[in-house]
Amino acid sequence: MKKAVYPGTFDPVTNGHLDVIKRGSLIFDMLVVSVGCNPLKDALFSVAERMEMIQEHVKDLKNVEVDSFQGMLVDYLKKQKTNIILRGIRTVSDFEYEFQRALTNRVLNKEVETVFVMTSEQYSFLNSTLIKEAVSLGGSVSQFVPPNVERRLAQKFKHMYRKNTE
């Protein structure tokens, strides 16, 4: 059985992420979408919230599970009993960054393989930071994220906006 881990912060999950998940589910027998806790990033959503948002959209994909991890990805791969990482690539700059990560992971564990999937062209410019910025400025992101994610973003920024104006 070929099992892969698709790690990310998914803060929030976008249509681009969901595209990679669906396509990864066709490539691998089992795909674990794992929300990473990165201490270098300030997340807007909690790990539990991010996992819930993803789970709502993968519940019909029988070979996909949602999990979370802290620490080194290579250690998490051992826990999951796999050596395969799935990563989505949008641009050349993504490739450079992901290539460095893949090589670092391979140095940390020579058995680790990273499989790159090109995102679909309609999602090639998407990233969570741009989406959060658009929502914070009052923009609509309905074409970039599922409705449940858009609602949660609006709630977060409405709440944050109230805090900042008090």
- The CATH code of the domain that includes 71 is 3.40.50.620
On whether residue 65 sits in a domain, the answer given is yes
pLDDT of residue 93: 82
**Is 98 marked as a binding-site residue?**
yes
Cα–Cα distance measured from residue 116 to residue 81, given in angstroms and rounded to the nearest whole number: 20
Is residue 142 a part of any domain in this protein?
Answer: no
**Residue 166 vs residue 137, higher pLDDT:** 137
What pLDDT, on a 0 to 100 scale, did the predictor assign at position 159? 62
Q: Mean pLDDT of all residues in the chain?
A: 91
- Three-state DSSP class for residue 166: coil
Split into its structural domains, the chain has a count of 1
d(CA 97, CA 100): 5
The pTM score is 0.91
Question: Is 10 flagged in the annotation as binding?
Answer: yes
Q: pLDDT digit string (tens) for 3-16?
A: 999 999 999 999 99
Give the span between the Cα atoms of 55 and 147, in whole angstroms: 14
pLDDT 10s digits, 131-142: 999 998 888 999
Q: Is residue 105 domain-resident?
A: yes
Amino acid symbol at 102: A
| Residue 89, marked binder | yes
| Range of the structural domain that residue 69 is part of | 3-121
| Ramachandran region, residue 10 (left: φ > 0; alpha: ψ -120 to 50; beta: rest) | left
**Is 127 known as a binding-site position?**
yes
Q: Which phi and psi (to 5°) does residue 24 adopt? A: -65, -35
CA atoms of 99 and 114, how far apart (whole Å): 9
Instruction: Please report whether residue 157 resides in a domain.
Output: no
Q: By C-alpha distance, which of 135, 151, 143, 115 is closest to 14? A: 143
Does residue 127 form part of some domain? no
- Active-site residues: which are they? 17, 41, 90, 128
